[in-house]
Amino acid sequence: MDQVSAKPWLAHYDPGVPHEVEVPPIPLWRFLEDAAKRYPQHTALEFLGKTLTYAELWEKSRRFAEGLKALGVKPGDRVAIMLPNSPQFVIAFYGTLLAGGVGVNVNPLYTPRELRHQLKDSGAETLVILDHLLPRFLEVEGETPVKRTVVTGIKDFLPFPKNLLYPLKAKRDKLPLGFPKREGFHAFLDRLKHPPATPHPADPEDLALLQYTGGTTGISKGAMLTHRNLVANVLQIDAWDSTSKELLGKGVMLGALPFFHVYGMTVAMNYGIYSGYKIVLLPRPEIHAIVEAIEKHQVTHFPGVPTLYVAFNNFPGIEKRNVKSIRICLSGAAPLPVEVAKRFEEITGARLLEGYGLSEASPVTHSNPVQGEIKKGSIGMPLPSVDAKVVDEEGQEVPIGEVGELVVKGPNIMKGYWNRPEETQKALKDGWLYTGDMAKMDEDGYFYIVDRKKDMIIAGGYNIYPREVEEVLYAHPAVQEAAVVGVPDPYRGETVAAFIVLKEEYKGKVTEKDIEAFCRENLAAYKVPRIIQFRDSLPKTSVGKILRRELREEFTKRQP
């Protein structure tokens, strides 16, 4: 069988996109070193008015590496980083790699319980943390392996006079500042007083990152990502956009997605650095700050998640704002409703590509093409060097158009789960990663996620995929956000429940009956939500993924 008939998507690649990428045997930090050589005086990071050039970022990262080594960090040691998007995050991550360490991304929203689990599980003896977050760590400090804590404050990288005004604002907002003056606690800025380190020559197969999966499907596990995995995914993303060469050293990347999530880390931070872009850092993905940053910095790349694009589309007066600089946006982490993409493209004139990925794949495996046909509702095609197929319960490939589990293979796929051989065996079989997502492939090799295996609703013997129902809800003009889950039902086993946030102008004017009638026009009777609830907001992960599981648990608890 020739390659194209085995991989029908190759015939639909954009001109200039290679079928495979060559992954050089280099450590991930080489991207920063190269950018510092090519664009030394270009702005690498912009943070609330403070800028760092590529030369400065490279030097500070090497100083931080030496500062870590002086504290006793050795090659292979895990360094946990609990920071929002900031220059400190980028310096701490690259500094860890330059010292030969392994980064451990920690969500700044974690509770003390979640933090304790991750620090214990990863065995991290070093923690880099924001002073505001320190009280949460201090609650569990003695129950973790952490021996040394490096503390930074937002003001450390603010320009004058913001750096003087910030502590006053923090006090007014009752945010904790500083850190205990006792052994084991160190100031971030003191780490930068060391001479620049000689970079540790990591083997490409060495671990670079422990990326903990969100825990939306159970206990949070550390996906082991190597230097080669992360380098490969950046090069795959770069190869996918054959028009990007003209923007090298000139593009502007919006760093609104949190870098502690592998999607933000790879697509905004690592790819941005590899391309020599100016990365505009936002500590929180707030829509007002996003719109301001796009206008002020003429952002060309805006990677995001559907909830961000929903907020953008509904931002008051967005049609009058200067947002036409945006050239390309990759949407991931959750399904992108068709109506949301259409409206975003009307406002900006940009291409909004739905893609797909997961922590275990560094993360991107699929995307719609940059120039070719975007098939709405599709996650697109596998990236260069990624193989993908849809399989049944026995692991056999199913015919085109049939639903099964999506499995993927490529140089970006993790080594396994940290200290979890049984979980690794379940997820990785003969080099294939079993994603747990239900999908189908069409004759052109475009893939469609039908739903997560665990989210499928079985009502009265029928399989119902929440995404299909959500697509219909998003097509209703009054719906801003929607989530559909299966809830227990004594008669049907499960029934369909829809939780909806209405657009402001429709509140009090549209009823549950109106939504139900709309669904009846567009869905088979067994798929129509039997329970419809209006909410002011929906629970989300830090990346903006709607937490269906939380909605389901909350609803079930309330039932008599």
Structure confidence by residue, pLDDT tens digits, 513-534: 999 999 988 888 888 999 999 9
Q: Which of 238, 279, 342 is nearest to 52 (CA)?
A: 279
> In angstroms, rounded to a whole number, what is the distance separating the alpha carbons of residues 129 and 345?
38
Residue pair 487/497 in contact by the 8 Å Cβ criterion: yes
- CA–CA dist 35, 42 (Å, integer): 9
pLDDT per residue, tens digit, the chain (560 aa), is: 455 568 999 999 999 999 999 999 999 999 999 999 999 999 999 999 999 999 999 999 999 999 999 999 999 999 999 999 999 999 999 999 999 999 999 989 888 888 998 999 999 999 999 999 999 999 999 999 999 999 999 999 998 888 877 777 777 878 777 788 889 999 999 999 999 999 999 999 999 999 998 544 456 799 999 999 999 999 999 999 988 888 999 999 999 999 999 999 999 999 999 999 999 999 988 999 999 999 999 999 999 988 899 899 999 999 999 999 999 999 987 778 888 899 999 999 999 999 999 999 999 999 999 999 999 889 999 999 999 999 998 999 999 999 999 999 999 999 999 999 999 999 999 999 999 888 999 999 999 988 766 777 877 666 787 888 898 899 999 999 999 999 888 777 789 999 999 999 999 999 999 999 999 888 888 889 999 999 999 998 877 888 888 898 888 888 76
Cβ pair 309, 290 in contact under 8 A? no
> Closest Cα partner for 102 from 68, 140, 136?
68
Residues recorded for the chain? 560
Cross-strand partners of 353: 330
Number of helices and strands (H, E) in the chain? Answer: 18, 26
- Helix, strand, coil percent values for the chain (each to nearest 5): 35, 25, 40
In sequence order, the 6+-apart residues with CB closer than 8 A to the CB of 327 are 247, 300, 301, 350, 351
Delimit the domains of the chain by residue range: 52-201, 456-558
Residue-wise pLDDT for 226-263, tens only, equals: 999 999 999 999 999 988 888 999 999 999 999 999 99
* Cα–Cα distance, 285 to 309 (Å, whole number): 11
For residue 548, give the nearest of 468, 418, 452 by alpha carbon: 452
Tokens standing for residue 554: 């909350």
| Cα separation, 79 vs 272, whole angstroms | 23
Residue 246: predicted pLDDT = 87
Contact between 353 and 380 under an 8 Å Cβ cutoff? The reply is yes
Chain centre to alpha carbon of residue 330? 11
Among 485, 216, 254, 461, which Cα is nearest to 358's? 216
Q: Domain 52-201, what architecture?
A: 3-Layer(aba) Sandwich (3.40)
* CATH fold label, 456-558: GMP Synthetase; Chain A, domain 3 (3.30.300)
Residue 524: its pLDDT value, please?
Answer: 80
